[in-house]
Amino acid sequence: MIYFKDGEYLQEEQMNLSMNDRGYVFGDGVYEVIKVYDGVLYTAEEHMERLLESAAKIRLTLPYTLEQLVGIAERLLQENELSVGHIYLQVTRGVAPRVHQFPDHSVSPVLTGYTVENPRPLEQLDKGAAMKSVEDMRWLRCDIKSLNLLGNVLAKQEAVEQGCQEALFVRDGIVREGSASNVFGIKDGILHTHPANNFILNGITRRVVLQLASDLSIPVQEKEFTLAEALAMDEFFFTSTNAEITPVVTIDRQPIGEGIPGPLTRQLQKLFDEQIPALVAA
Ligand SMILES: Cc1ncc(COP(=O)(O)O)c(CN[C@@H]2CONC2=O)c1O
């Protein structure tokens, strides 16, 4: 396996990370997960643009251009001959003695990356998933794809302990997003999803789905909705780089609609597959 660290492509035994890396100590960094289908990067530019945006939001200047970041992802997938899976890329504020304030400008960010082989979740895409609602106790900058994922981790663990595949964050009675996904509901033919603001991550897959809905002339409402409204939806699904468009058949053990993946969700899944060249070519 070849890893990337600060301009070098290294074997695992050559990799070393400092105990004083601020990503390790404070979670002071940002990250991206970029999908690969049949050896081809998917929406890499969009992910790298968001990485640069997230870094800027935490006042971290990356010494890489968008094109250089895409190039790193490309080289990693080639070095590891990745077919289907994802690339994990993260950048921290660098290595310095453990004090909260930023280190001086002599400290450089640490960019690391690696590949993960993982197949598409075909069975879950077909059968659907269960969600468990969880109080959203995260900070108020969920729009930053930060390494600070403890709130997400605890929520996901709570869902898994209830036999569910994803947690559904609810803050002030409003459904926000999943622990590692965005959520959508369909009611009377209208696609509902939370507006892209500081309460959610503006997912790349979320943006793809909004485009697909437009292509299918499905009306969209980017507006807050409550958990009660979510439970009353005809269809529900969550989206992420790895989850793609995953139908949700129950929330808190209550069936959504007929308790099976709905027709509009299926149409969106079909169009999603058709817009991935590597899938069409396969
Ligand atoms: C909190 C949160 N919301 C939404 C999303 C969906 O964003 P994308 O559509 O851009 O993937 C993610 C993805 N989290 C990544 C995706 O896979 N694993 C992760 O941690 C996420 O962590």
pLDDT digits (tens, 9 = 90+) for 51-96: 999 999 999 999 999 999 999 999 999 999 999 999 999 999 999 9
The kind and range of the H/E element at 268 are helix 263-274
Q: How far is the CA of 163 from the centre of ligand 1 (A)?
A: 21
Kindly give the pairing relationship between strand 220-222 and strand 8-11: unpaired
Q: How far is the CA of 109 from the centre of ligand 1 (A)?
A: 23
Q: Give the pLDDT score at 98.
A: 98
Give CA–CA dist 121/119, Å, rounded: 6
Q: Which two tokens stand for residue 216?
A: 């299918």
Give catalytic residue positions: 145
122-281, superfamily in CATH? D-amino Acid Aminotransferase, subunit A, domain 2 (3.20.10.10)
* 54 contacts 48 by C-beta, under 8 angstroms: no
Residue closest via CA to ligand 1's atom 13 equals 180
Give CA–CA dist 76/121, Å, rounded: 23
List Cα–Cα distances, 281 to 41, 75, 184, 211, 247, in angstroms: 14, 22, 29, 22, 25
Q: Give the pLDDT score at 271.
A: 97
* 103 contacts 138 by C-beta, under 8 angstroms: no
Q: Give the pLDDT score at 109.
A: 98
Spell out, as residue ranges, where the chain has pLDDT lower than 70.
280-282
Name the DSSP class of 86.
Answer: E
Ligand 1, CB cutoff 6 Å, lining residues: 33, 152, 177, 180-182, 201, 203-206, 239-242
- Residue carrying structure tokens 């590949």: 115
Residue closest via CA to ligand 1's atom 14 equals 180
Q: Give the pLDDT score at 276.
A: 86
With a threshold of 0.95, tell me whether the complex ipTM lies above it.
yes
* Most distant CA atoms of the chain, gap in Å: 59
Give CA–CA dist 180/239, Å, rounded: 9
What predicted TM-score, i.e. pTM, was given to this entire model? 0.97
Q: Give the pLDDT score at 281.
A: 63
Q: Please, how many CA atoms are within 13 Å of residue 238, restricted to the half-sphere of its CB?
A: 30
CA 104 and chain centroid, separation? 31
Considering the four listed CATH numbers 3.40.50.880, 3.30.470.10, 3.90.660.10, 3.30.70.20, the one that applies to the domain covering 2-117 is 3.30.470.10
Q: Which two tokens stand for residue 5?
A: 């660290």
Give CA–CA dist 169/155, Å, rounded: 8
Residue type, 258: E
| Domain limits, the chain | 2-117, 122-281
* 43 contacts 2 by C-beta, under 8 angstroms: no
Residue type, 144: I
Q: How far is the CA of 204 from the centre of ligand 1 (A)?
A: 8
The domains spanning 2-117 and 122-281 adopt the same CATH topology: no
DSSP per position, 128-150: -EEEEEEE--S-S-TTS-BS--H
